Amino acid sequence: MRVAVDVGGTFTDVVFWDGAVVRTAKVTTTPDQSDGLVSGIEEVGASGVDLVHGTTAATNAVLQRRGARTALVTDAGFEDLIEIGRQDRPALYDTAVTRPAPLAPASLRFGVPGRSTFAAAGDVPDLTATVTAVAAAQPEAVAVSLLYGFAHPEREAAVASALQVVLPDVPISLSSSVAPEIREFERSSTTLLNAYLAPVVERYLRRLAGRVEASTAVMRSSGGLIPLERAAALPAAIVLSGPAGGAVAAAALGRALGRETVISFDMGGTSTDVCRIEHGRPEVVYQRSIDGLPSTMPSVAIHTVGAGGGSLGWVDSGGALRVGPMSAGADPGPACYRRGGIEATVTDADLVAGRIGVAVPLGGVVTPDRDAARTALARLAAELDGDVARTALGIIEVVEARMDRAVRRVSVEEGSDPRDAVLVAFGGAGGLHATALARRVGMSGVVVPAHAGVFSALGLLLAPPRVDVSRSVLLDGLGGVEAIAAAVAAEAAFALGEPGEVAQFLDLRYRGQSHETTVPFHPGEPEATLLARFHAAHRRRNGFDRPDDPVEVVTVRAEAVAAAALRWDQIPAPVPQGDPHRGTRSVLTIAGAVDAGVWWRGGLRPGAEVVGPAVIEETEATTYLGAGERAVVHDTGALEVGW
């Protein structure tokens, strides 16, 4: 038995698997996430059961800059590297754009004297002055990132040992442990991020462990589970904890349906997460930005936009209607929640448009108030010189346009044709906008899985224990890579601590390039096979390849995974009960009001067909079908939608 809890910005989703049936629940997210988590566990009757947790504790600490007072120790003369960064700019033609401030201000950056070269990397200089200065600053956490720490970890270990003497209770993060890879700026940024989050995440997880009293694993950004103790020491690895669960579940569903390429579309209350999944595997990237802060932690290639059910509609200085990224969150929430919110949100627009009804509580916990939604929309309509109906449809159109760009970001911009993919839509609001979004992009169809409203939490149960290991090597050619790859794979297998499978990868580049392409590596395969795989991947991603150029190996990677607690084929299909047809209601569309059939999803049997316009309701989510769209119920309970 195991219970999974995924904490979102508005709702906390709970899925309990007892070996035979799946029970689900939604509760309102609380300021202390553990309060809502415990409440959800009690609601499904899973007290004392092993827990798998997707948390936003690390994410929120970064976004709100609520981390620890963190010192950075690096080589003397390079203290400001973390602020100088790279020459690339986030907005090339925006003259007012600014970079985010480093997590360690100048007053908390310290240099180790006598920078060692590669030849003398084992030499340790006198650290007395540096250690004294760091101790005097009274940091709550320390990050140590020396220029060649990835190649010679003994120097960083010596610095850490000296610091622990004077700061015995302060957590210290070493780049040689957190991110042992080349590029000192990105490595330092990742290590600093880890140190900044360590005290906050450790306090939360310690508090959680005291309340749950059961074995706990935490979802890591790369799509696998990490023990609670390890997550507390490596919080940079769980920044995308929750969204990764949805990608894992979408991959499992895609494999079950025989879909070669799917794009997961998780629209919740605060944001929307999209991810491309090919051959049953979500893409994993090793360079990404967390609120403007570079991180080299492996993570599922999820693109997030601030467009969810709680996203606020507003009018910009030019008089144009905008939606998000500001959100009403869980408290006060959309106006229709009647919790004090007065600004119009996407949920309010969906309610006034008729896509959401008032008979079924949202998430099973909130009964929406249509009059409150109309009042909020009327206030926004007054700013636009329009009426409530047009404003509601305008909000829907704008938010779908934002999500359109997100889907293109993970497909077209990555060299993948979205017309070859289906959209797997989930989250409380995913089914409300999925078909319109898929048709805008030209996709072949939509799949709305069973348990769509808590699908990311279900993905936590499907996620395997996982360890990611990397080592930068900088080889000119492929000579010697077999032995290094074997050592990295052995390290990953040992760290996993239980039987599992190890997959190996290489970061390759053409000589002289400043970026790498990650490709699978199979020990013993011909060198020509590996190079052909690299050339093809480079051509797909960048539009060209140079097969006659020499190739360098930059980083060797390994991922070790064990068996997940739950397999997709073990999940029982929902048992249909009762009459699914619930009458009709008027729904606003661009073409005018239409009468839409209303269906209860819990009563739809495999093979049943629903033709739009229609609304398919369930406790945790709602699916909207436009005119000309038809949904067929799959044996798994999923809705397969085409047009």
pLDDT over 80 (residue 74): yes
Of the two residues 619 and 501, the one the predictor is more confident about is 501
Q: Side chain identity at 223, as an amino acid letter?
A: G
Of 220, 214, 217, 247, the C-alpha closest to 235 is 220
- pLDDT tens, position by position, 300-314: 999 888 888 999 999
- pLDDT tens, position by position, 366-398: 889 999 999 999 999 999 988 999 999 999 999
User: How buried is 579 (Cβ within 10 angstroms: 0-12 exposed, 13-18 middle, 19+ buried)?
Assistant: exposed
CATH of the domain at 471: 3.30.1490
Listed residues 494, 528, 563: the one ending a domain? 563
- Whole-number Å distance between alpha carbons of 630 and 611: 4
pLDDT over 90 (residue 361): no
Strands 70-75 and 109-112: parallel
Which pLDDT score, from 0 to 100, does residue 229 have? 94
Listed residues 505, 528, 563: the one ending a domain? 563
Evaluate whether 246 touches 462 at the Cβ level (below 8 Å).
Answer: no
Which pLDDT score, from 0 to 100, does residue 115 have? 64
* 506 and 542 co-located in one domain: yes
Which pLDDT score, from 0 to 100, does residue 119 have? 42
Residue 287, domain member (yes or no): no
* 183 and 211 co-located in one domain: no
CATH of the domain at 222: 3.30.420.40
Listed residues 169, 197, 225: the one ending a domain? 197
pLDDT over 90 (residue 90): no
pLDDT over 80 (residue 198): yes
Residue 365, domain member (yes or no): no
Biggest CA-to-CA distance, the chain: 80
Kindly report which listed range (79-93, 110-124, 383-397) carries the lowest average pLDDT score: 110-124
Residue 596, domain member (yes or no): yes
Retrieve residue 339's tokens: 């919790």
Which pLDDT score, from 0 to 100, does residue 28 have? 87
- pLDDT tens, position by position, 397-437: 999 999 999 999 999 888 888 998 999 999 989 999 999 99
Percent of the chain beyond pLDDT 90? 76
* 228 and 120 co-located in one domain: no
Provide the pLDDT confidence category of residue 116 given band limits of 50, 70 and 90.
Answer: low
Averaged pLDDT, 551-577: 93
Q: Which domain holds residue 630?
A: 581-642
Which pLDDT score, from 0 to 100, does residue 627 have? 94
Residue 523, domain member (yes or no): yes
- pLDDT tens, position by position, 501-550: 999 999 999 999 999 999 999 999 999 999 999 999 999 889 999 999 99
Element (H, E) at 491: helix 481-496
Kindly report which listed range (109-113, 241-245, 448-452) carries the lowest average pLDDT score: 241-245
Mean residue pLDDT across the chain: 92
Provide the pLDDT confidence category of residue 117 given band limits of 50, 70 and 90.
Answer: low
User: How buried is 65 (Cβ within 10 angstroms: 0-12 exposed, 13-18 middle, 19+ buried)?
Assistant: exposed
- Whole-number Å distance between alpha carbons of 317 and 451: 41
Averaged pLDDT, 156-179: 96
Our CA dihedral for 352, 354, 358, 360, rounded to 10 degrees, sits at -140
* 193 and 85 co-located in one domain: yes
pLDDT over 70 (residue 112): yes
* 184 and 35 co-located in one domain: no
- Cα 318 to its chain centre, rounded Å, is 33
Which pLDDT score, from 0 to 100, does residue 233 have? 95
Which pLDDT score, from 0 to 100, does residue 248 have? 95
* 554 and 630 co-located in one domain: no
Of 639, 606, 641, the C-alpha closest to 626 is 641
- Per-residue b/e over 612-636, b at no fewer than 16 CB within 10 Å? bbbbbbbbbbbbbbbeebebebbeb
Of 183, 168, 172, the C-alpha closest to 143 is 172
Residue 499, domain member (yes or no): yes
Q: At what angle do helices 370-384 and 346-353 cross, to 10 degrees?
A: 110
Averaged pLDDT, 108-116: 84
Backbone angles phi, psi at 150, to 5 degrees: -65, -30
* 42 and 106 co-located in one domain: no
Q: Count the alpha carbons within 13 Å of 295 in the hemisphere toward its beta carbon.
A: 31
Residue 381, domain member (yes or no): no
pLDDT over 90 (residue 173): yes
* 213 and 180 co-located in one domain: no
Residue 405, domain member (yes or no): no
Residue 637, domain member (yes or no): yes
Provide the pLDDT confidence category of residue 192 given band limits of 50, 70 and 90.
Answer: very high
* 100 and 158 co-located in one domain: yes
Provide the pLDDT confidence category of residue 118 given band limits of 50, 70 and 90.
Answer: very low
Q: Side chain identity at 461, as an amino acid letter?
A: L
DSSP labels, 147-181: TTTTT-HHHHHHHHHHHHHH-TTS-EEEHHHH---
Q: Side chain identity at 509, as an amino acid letter?
A: R
Which pLDDT score, from 0 to 100, does residue 360 have? 85
Give residue for tokens 């408290």.
331
When divided into structural domains, the chain yields a total of: 4
* 97 and 178 co-located in one domain: yes
* 480 and 549 co-located in one domain: yes
* 91 and 190 co-located in one domain: yes
- pLDDT tens, position by position, 567-612: 999 998 888 999 999 999 999 999 999 999 999 999 999 999 999 8
Which pLDDT score, from 0 to 100, does residue 51 have? 95
Which pLDDT score, from 0 to 100, does residue 573 have? 86
Averaged pLDDT, 226-239: 95
